Chain A
């Protein structure tokens, strides 16, 4: 039962984080379209790290 609540919290947190990453990257691209490539690469790396953390927590808390 507590595992499930924890998993839900993890997913909420990861969702907020991913939203922040995506939103800020969008803003950055809108301000400086010529830096799109660099911003996308950094965005994907950070999203991957966050996702790794979220999956790790889910995997350990299952």
Chain B
């Protein structure tokens, strides 16, 4: 598949800021199954700074912008050729030991509800891969997709208690359950070509990867009850949504911030 991506994030401030620094993880991973034909990240008015590939294999680049500025825009455009790898991450160079991803973070803490769900779902599984599939299916089942049900600071436990959430909550919940069962798991941020029915902001997507011995990292997208395929573009990973965030930034000044995002992922060729 050839996917066209256009992703514009605009931060608007109620008073001009003195400057801003951003650390962006917005470039497609270098791995089998996806290849950037062209890709561009820009912050109009800003200066590109440090750029490097980190130990998890993600391409990170910094931008700084001298103020005064009352808005900052991050523009991503590109074209990526993808193939279906059945969710298996191959060909990515990484230096992080999978066991590191057993660490619990606040949004991925397993409460009694998540623990019970994990044990129930995994019972009777034939092997680790089967267990991971069952976990993902159980989360799809337990948390209904409803935009606006939760906010960005929500935890997996809260989403499960509520019974609804967005892709971030689904990913956190699968991660919490997997880690509880001593399976390394991590949060992945990226893009999804959702087809005609997808809304404008659902193209910015998140899912989970679970480490399966002898197979490596395998993606699971409980929000869509599937494993990532040719419709997905992988950007980067982390312990949780905050750690894997495509944009991290600090603006200098005591201001209120409003974020406006438009994302479109179109298929130009099947």
Q: Do A and B bind each other?
A: no
Binding site for B on A (CB under 8 A): none
